[in-house]
Chain A
Amino acid sequence: MIKSKSTRFGDIVIALVSFIVMFICLVPLLNVLARSLSSAEYLIRNEVVLWPKGWNVDAYTTVLKDPKYVHSLWYTGLLTVGCTLLSLAMTIMCAYPLTYKELKGGKVINVVILFTMYFSAGMIPHYLWLRNLGMLDTLWVLVIPSCLSVYNMIIMRSFFFGVPESLREAAEIDGAGPIRTLIMIYLPLSKAVLATLALFYAVGRWNGFSDALLYLKKREDLYPIQLLLYNILQNTTNVEVATQEGFSTPGLGETLKMATVMFATVPILLIYPWLQRYFVTGVTLGAVKG
């Protein structure tokens, strides 16, 4: 198709606007990255914008030498992997049976589950119940209360609904029970949505800190990276961190904060672009509620 001059002009304008929007998305990260890699003299003169000046990785090496921070990174990484696997298993166990029309009581269970999306007991009742269970200040409080998300379950279920019924019937004629059908037919077809949900759960756990803030008071060793970061940014870090060399050096303080921010950001930024194709489908499935 031959394009008119005005259309081509329009294309150029839209491409330009896209560049500006992308720039706005990236500027905060690039600026912080550049500053965290620059030496103090250039920072003081406000000469660092998007490109580091006076290459300097002291902040990063200092962070990597801080055992507390390294521990938190490892620990949050392992926690994230563990929680993601558990959550995926729970989501499949919840979503799969609900796709069976033959399941008696399925509708009731469905309502019971969906209700929790709209009405929640609230912060204090949850806190008091977890206190009663003795789960406060344990690792489990970061794992179990958040191990199943109704929204993600709906995405999984919508996807399962899309699997042709004929496949299931064929498996049943071959004598496969529901679990065998799940493992042989449904799961192999669901790699895309499983990847999406793994991403959603993993991002949720890696980025989450409110449960740790509410439920972990005495156990700083269980703080996930985001809560540690929150404390660093709020300048309420405990004495150990503050007296750690580097953290107490005033000039380095700012770049150190930025280096810690980068460490907590990079893992996710490395992963999500590879799953883009999948999570787009996932979000669309999630919009088909009920």
Chain B
Amino acid sequence: MSKNTIVSQGRVGTQSANFKSYMRRYGTLYLLLILPVIFFLVFRYIPMAWILGAFKENNIFKAPWELAWAKNNGFEWFVKAFNDRTFINALRNTITLNLLDLVCGFPAPILLALMLNELTFKRFKKITQTVLYMPHFLSWIIISGLALRLLASNDGLINILYKRIVGNADASIPFMSNNNWWVGTYVVLGIWKEAGWGTIIYLAALTSISPELYEAAAVDGAGRFKRIWHVTLPGLRPTIITLLIMNLGRILGSEFDRPLALSNKLVTDVSQVISIYVYQNGLKANKFALTTAVGLFQSVVGVLFLIAANQLAKRFGERGIM
């Protein structure tokens, strides 16, 4: 009774009284949010002002709003980028490496998850998982160190084996120095690092498959492969489609650590991706305007791709990410 009157008094009270009681109750939440919001404004939004530099003259000291507009109605740097063969090359490399990652790397965690799901001995399954997650925790620098050693052309473990198999001490596979082999190495190392980690999300999806379905399949006399094909894979379908589409949406994104750590002078033709192009031309050669333009191009196209991918996911009746 008394509680009711308090509430109704609050309702009829002036707006400021309402505001006061609201702030008394929830004001501390805003206090908590102050630092995070300042963080996002200062370190994520304010830098966007410098995007203006993509449309201005190149000057390494002045802020973009103090500068005159670039030629071609401000689009000078975009035009220059698309006439620059190294940029076109970097764009092509970005798409090629991402597509190869997708085609070769996408099925890997699914296959591993199916394998883990079939392991009946719990303890063994857990140990396998622990080992499979391990590479995810190594940095690309560490992995490049391991790869350089393991794949070294004269005394790396793989080439030692290769020499013994072909029976020729001078034979070796140029994993890191030949363009095509390097691309293969890049993709395989990506799978090595992330395939195990990628199983987590599929294993989580598997737990939601009703055990009754498996029992029913067993009653119907379905063998292992029939069970995987008719029960497990359909159970993974939503996750597979969502992840696949989202990965397609990231086709123009470029990692930084991975190509930087794995690349070397011999293979820059195939290893230079957009992020490395921006780093080398921007930070190292002071072409700030050009590289800001390239970065903007990548961000905008990236967002457009993601939106398109999201729509596509929804059309397939799956949850998108936005």
Task: Please report A residues at the B interface, Cβ cutoff 8 Å.
Answer: 6-7, 10-11, 14-15, 17-18, 21-22, 24-29, 31-32, 35, 43, 46, 49, 90, 93-94, 96-98, 100, 102-104, 109, 112-114, 116, 118-129, 132, 144-145, 147-148, 153, 177-179, 203, 206-210, 213-214, 226, 229-230, 233, 254, 257-258, 261, 264-265, 268-269, 272-273, 276, 279-280, 283-284, 287, 289-290
Contacts and interface: CB of A to CB of B under 8 A. Distances in A.
Chain A binding surface SS class = helix
B124 A123 contact: no
Interface stretch (B38-46, B90-98, B178-186): B38-46
Interface residues on B, range: 35 or more
A35 B302 CA distance: 43
B250 to A, nearest CB: 10
A18 B50 contact: no
B216 to A, nearest CB: 15
B7 to A, nearest CB: 14
A90 B132 contact: no
Contacts of B143: 28
A103 to B, nearest CB: 6
A127 B29 CA distance: 32
Nearest to A181: B28
Contact of B132 (A25, A129, A268): A25
Interface in B182-224: 192, 196-197, 200-201, 203-204, 223-224
Contacts of A124: 50, 53, 278, 282-283, 288, 291-292, 295
A49 B157 contact: yes
A264 B50 CA distance: 36
Given A121-B47, A124-B291, A284-B204, A226 B139 contact: yes
B119 A119 contact: no
A93 B37 CA distance: 10
B241 interface: no
Nearest to A102: B26
Contacts of A230: 141, 261
A276 B47 contact: no
A132 to B, nearest CB: 7
B145 A103 contact: no
A128 B302 CA distance: 22
Interface in B23-75: 25-26, 28-30, 32-33, 35-37, 39-40, 43-51, 53, 63
B99 interface: no
B224 A93 contact: no
A272 B283 contact: no
A6 B139 CA distance: 42
Contact of A122 (B37, B126, B292): B292
B35 A93 contact: yes
B36 A94 contact: yes
B89 interface: no
7 contacts: A7-B224, A10-B224, A128-B50, A144-B43, A226-B139, A233-B141, A279-B200
Given A14-B118, A230-B261, A276-B130, 8 more contacts: A96-B32, A114-B322, A120-B299, A122-B295, A128-B47, A128-B63, A207-B141, A261-B146
Nearest to B292: A124
Interface in B106-147: 112, 115-116, 118-121, 124, 126-135, 137-147
A97 B35 contact: no
B256 interface: yes
Interface of B: 22, 25-26, 28-30, 32-33, 35-37, 39-40, 43-51, 53, 63, 112, 115-116, 118-121, 124, 126-135, 137-150, 155, 157, 160, 192, 196-197, 200-201, 203-204, 223-224, 256-257, 260-261, 275, 278-279, 282-283, 288, 291-292, 295-296, 298-300, 302-303, 306, 321-322
Contacts of B50: 121, 124-126, 128-129
A109 B35 CA distance: 13
The 10 tightest CB contacts between A and B, nearest first, are A122-B295, A125-B50, A207-B139, A94-B36, A97-B29, A121-B47, A284-B204, A28-B146, A116-B44, A261-B145
Given A28-B150, A118-B322, A258-B145, A148 B46 contact: no
Contacts of B116: 18
Contacts of B45: 112, 116
A122 B51 contact: yes
A125 B295 contact: yes
Contacts of B26: 100, 102-104, 178
Given A116-B40, A119-B303, A126-B47, A97 B283 contact: no
Contacts of B155: 43, 46
A126 to B, nearest CB: 5
A229 B139 CA distance: 11
Contacts of B119: 14-15, 18
Given A24-B192, A118-B306, A124-B295, A31 B149 contact: yes
Nearest to A19: B128
